Amino acid sequence: MKSLNIQVVDDSALTVKKITKMLEDMGHKIVSVSGTGKTAVFDYQYMKPDLVTMDITMPDMDGITATRRIMDIDKYARIVMITSHSQKQMVMDSIGAGALGYVMKPIDPEKLKASVEKAYAKKLKKK
């Protein structure tokens, strides 16, 4: 798969480092890191990444709301949720908001890779 420009959204600097390392090891490039939902929406408009990894629990705006806002801006946005929430309803809400995948923390690199590839392929079909 081609190298993607990815925006990482998470309020934990440590989680950002872990996700960044995993994605860079897969050959992707991190073009933006956002620590809150609001900055994620703002940064997305300027960076126009190929894919976004989105946390759910963040200060100021949660990841599901941020996903909805990004989808309002760009209906072709590719967003993969990366979160510790395991409730069915939370998964449904994320998918309903427009997320194309869901990876549970602690993050398994293989599951992240599969989810990123699946999300990228899904959106290519729609375009």
Partner 1 sequence: MKKPEDIEHILEVIVDIASDFLKNEIGVEVQKTNQKSECSSYFRLKPYTALMSISGSFSMNVTFSFDTALIEQVYRVYCHELEIEDNERLEHIDETASDMINIVIGNSTSKLAHDGTVVQISVPIVINEASSLSIRDVNFLTTTLYTEFGDMMITAMPNSCDYGEEGERE
What residue ranges bind partner 1 (CB under 8 A)?
11-15, 17-18, 21, 57-59, 83-90, 93, 104-106
Tokens representing residue 67 in the block = 């996903």
Smallest distance, Å, CB 34 to partner 1? 15
Using the minimum distance from each CB to partner 1, give the nearer residue, 45 or 86: 86
Sequence letter at residue 64:
I
Smallest distance, Å, CB 46 to partner 1? 25
Which residues are CB-contacts of 4 (< 8 A; sequence separation ≥ 6)?
Answer: 28, 29, 49, 50, 51, 116, 120
- What sign does the CA torsion over 118, 122, 8, 4 have? positive
Q: What 3-state class would DSSP assign to 94? A: helix
Smallest distance, Å, CB 10 to partner 1? 10
Using the minimum distance from each CB to partner 1, give the nearer residue, 5 or 12: 12
Using the minimum distance from each CB to partner 1, give the nearer residue, 89 or 126: 89
